[in-house]
């Protein structure tokens, strides 16, 4: 905390441009946390089975809306899961039901990605249709080749997949999701207006040492994995630069505690209960609190072609302890920073 820090910080209400809420009882446990902070969120479709059709997205949206507490305004923005077999006309159906994007998971890249794309060429017809409809392609930008070092998979994706994809679809809107490296930040900075990127709070606050601090820390394990400090610094620079290409996407990815604290623990940090506070901490540490509102509340809707929110939130400088454990359906979940004190609190 610096002496010059303001006692409160008021922002246009932010949106979360990358979020996992799961389904069923687990979903009912986590949706209120996001709805308390954000006006809208892009809902990732990696359920089991995945949300691959507009019809499934409508039904999933209804279930999410039913989990929003009474009196709270929150709009789920739907995304369809792209597969090798997605028909080209699914793009028009997606657009018609209000979906904003398709998600590209390279097959095997992460949680519930086995139905993902094995060869981008198989999706070219639907990508053409998306380009025409102005639908966004959200990409999990990692190659899946087990020969490629896990810390290098994002860089390999840029060279092997993203560059050829953009050459073939120069006007397709592409969000490079949850970027983790200086190379990705630089690539997006230099790209044209069709390319944007989201950045998570954990990648702004931590480097890969956090996963091994005094023993293996499964709650810091997510994909793409945390990288070296030089990369974290580049992400902070990008997020606080004022460039409209970088915007907030928590990638809050809830998994029951017992499945993270496991011999093969699930990837994902659950940040929804304190997401905007974590971003405020990261921006404050960079001396850039004045840049938070653009990143959190303006650049995402501008990129997606949606109106900015008009109501506001206030963060107060007030110590509070993030709960160590919260209900998660029948199980429990440990949020990132559970049991620790944060210095910003959403009023």
Catalytic sites, residue numbers = 251
CB-CB contact of 301 with 309 (8 Å): yes
Q: How far lies 157's CA from each of 112, 132, 151, 163, 334, in Å?
A: 19, 24, 12, 9, 31
Please choose which of ligand DOR, Zn ion, none residue 110 contacts, taking the beta carbon within 5 to 8 angstroms, the exact cut-off set by kind. Answer: ligand DOR
Q: How far lies 231's CA from each of 40, 58, 107, 206, 208, in Å?
A: 29, 38, 26, 10, 10
Handedness of CA 218, 223, 229, 235 (dihedral sign): negative
Which of 91, 223, 322, 333 binds ligand DOR (CB under 6 A)? It is 223
Q: Does 333 bind ligand DOR (CB under 6 A)?
A: no
Q: Does 334 bind ligand DOR (CB under 6 A)?
A: no
Which of 58, 267, 286, 316 binds ligand DOR (CB under 6 A)? It is 267
Q: Site for Zn ion (CB under 5 A): how many residues?
A: 1
Q: Residue 317 and residue 188: Cα distance in Å, rounded? A: 33
Which of 64, 226, 238, 253 binds ligand DOR (CB under 6 A)? It is 253
CB-CB contact of 36 with 346 (8 Å): yes
Beta strand residue intervals within 27-163, DSSP E? 40-43, 75-81, 101-104, 136-139
Minimum distance from residue 316 beta carbon to ligand DOR (Å): 30
Segment near Zn ion (CB under 5 A); pick from 147-155, 179-187, 249-257, 312-320: 249-257
Segment near Zn ion (CB under 5 A); pick from 120-128, 148-156, 217-225, 250-258: 250-258
Contact string (CB under 6 A) for ligand DOR, positions 79-118, x = contact: -------------------------------xx-------
CB-CB contact of 308 with 12 (8 Å): yes
If the CB atoms of residues 173 and 178 are measured against ligand DOR, the closer one turns out to be: 178
Radius of gyration of the chain (CA): 19
> Residue 246 pairs with which residues in a beta bridge?
197
List of residues contacting Zn ion (CB under 5 A): 251
List of residues contacting ligand DOR (CB under 6 A): 20, 46, 110-111, 140, 222-223, 253, 267-268
């Amino acid at each position: 905390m610096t002496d010059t820090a303001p006692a409160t910080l008021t922002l246009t209400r932010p949106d979360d441009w990358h979020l996992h809420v799961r389904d069923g009882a687990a979903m009912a446990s986590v949706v209120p946390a996001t709805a308390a902070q954000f006006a809208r969120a892009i809902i990732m479709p990696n359920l089991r089975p995945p949300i691959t059709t507009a019809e499934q997205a409508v039904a999933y949206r209804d279930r999410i809306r039913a989990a929003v507490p009474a009196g709270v305004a929150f709009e789920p923005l739907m995304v369809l899961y792209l597969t090798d077999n997605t028909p080209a006309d699914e793009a028009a159906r997606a657009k018609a039901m209000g979906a904003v994007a398709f998600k590209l998971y390279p097959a095997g890249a992460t949680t519930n990605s086995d139905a993902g794309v094995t060869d981008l060429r198989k999706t070219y017809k639907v990508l053409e249709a998306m380009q025409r409809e102005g639908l966004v392609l959200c990409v999990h930008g990692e190659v899946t080749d087990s020969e490629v070092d896990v810390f290098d998979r994002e860089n390999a994706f840029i060279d092997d997949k993203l560059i050829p994809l953009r050459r073939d679809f120069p006007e397709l809107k592409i969000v490079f999701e949850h970027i983790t490296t200086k190379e990705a930040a630089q690539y997006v900075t230099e790209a044209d207006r069709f390319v944007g990127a989201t950045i998570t709070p954990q990648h702004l606050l931590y480097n890969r040492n956090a996963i091994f601090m005094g023993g293996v820390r499964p709650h810091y394990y997510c994909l793409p994995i945390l990288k070296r400090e030089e990369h974290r610094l580049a992400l902070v620079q990008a997020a606080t630069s004022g460039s409209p290409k970088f915007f907030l996407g928590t990638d809050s990815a809830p998994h029951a505690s017992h499945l993270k604290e496991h011999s093969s623990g699930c990837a994902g940090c659950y940040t929804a209960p304190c997401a905007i506070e974590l971003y405020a901490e990261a921006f404050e540490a960079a001396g850039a609190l004045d840049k938070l509102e653009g990143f959190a509340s303006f650049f995402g809707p501008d990129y997606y072609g949606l109106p900015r929110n008009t109501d506001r939130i206030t963060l107060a400088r007030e110590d509070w302890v993030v709960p160590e454990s919260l209900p998660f359906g029948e199980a429990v979940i440990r949020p990132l920073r559970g049991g620790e004190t944060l210095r910003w609190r959403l009023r």
